[in-house]
Homo-oligomer: A and B are copies of this chain.
Amino acid sequence: MKLGKNHIGFTYTAEGSKTFTTFNPKLNQPNDTKFTEASIQEIEAAVALAADAFESYKNTSNKEKAKFLNHIAEEILALGDDLITMYCLETGLPEGRAKGERGRTVFQLQSFANLLSEGSWVDATIDIAIPDRVPFPKLDLRRMDIPLGPVVVFGASNFPLAYSTAGGDTASALAAGCPVIVKSHPMHAGTGTLVAHAIITAAKKTGMPDGVFSNLNSSGIEVGLQLVAHSKIKAVGFTGSIRGGRALFDLAAQRPEPIPVFAEMGSINPVVMLQEELKKNTAFWAEAYAQSITLGAGQFCTQPGLILSLEGAIFTNFTKFLVDEIKKTDPNCMLHPDIFEGFKSNKKQSESQLGLEVLTDTNLAVTPNFAYASISRIDGDAFLKNNILHQEVFGPHTLLVACESLSQMKEIITNLQGQLTASLIATEKEAQVNLEIIEALQNRVGRLVFNGVPTGVEVCNSMVHGGPYPASTDSRFSAVGVHSIKRWLRPFSFQNFPDSLLPEALKENNPLDIKRTRI
Contact = CB atoms under 8 A, between A and B. Distances in A.
Interface of A: 55, 125-127, 136, 138-139, 141-143, 146, 148, 249-250, 253-254, 257-258, 260, 417-418, 428, 431-432, 438-439, 442, 446-452, 456, 458, 460-464, 466, 468-470, 473-478, 483, 486-487, 489-498, 500-501, 517, 519
B492 A476 contact: no
Given A253-B253, A452-B495, A143 B431 contact: no
A493 B462 CA distance: 6
Number of copies: 2
Given A258-B473, A469-B258, A473-B258, A143 B428 contact: no
A452 B490 CA distance: 23
A428 to B, nearest CB: 5
B442 A492 contact: yes
Contact of A478 (B142, B260, B491, B496): B491
Contact of A491 (B136, B138, B260, B464): B464
Nearest to A517: B461
A459 B346 CA distance: 53
Contacts of A136: 456
Nearest to A492: B464
Given A460-B141, A461-B127, A462-B519, A494 B258 contact: no
Given A143-B463, A495-B448, A438 B125 contact: no
A452 B494 CA distance: 11
Contacts of A473: 258
A475 B446 contact: no
B462 A141 contact: yes
B249 A138 contact: no
Rank and list the top 8 A-B pairs by shortest CB-CB distance, nearest first: A253-B253, A464-B493, A141-B462, A143-B462, A447-B493, A475-B490, A127-B462, A449-B495
A345 B432 CA distance: 64
B475 A483 contact: no
B492 A439 contact: no
Contacts of A462: 125-127, 141-143, 493, 519
Nearest to A144: B462
A323 to B, nearest CB: 26
A248 B212 CA distance: 35
B483 A491 contact: yes
Contact of A474 (B260, B460, B478): B260
Contact of A458 (B141, B478, B498): B141
A435 to B, nearest CB: 8
B250 A431 contact: no
A463 B55 contact: no
Contacts of A448: 492-495, 497
Contacts of A466: 490-491
A55 B439 CA distance: 8
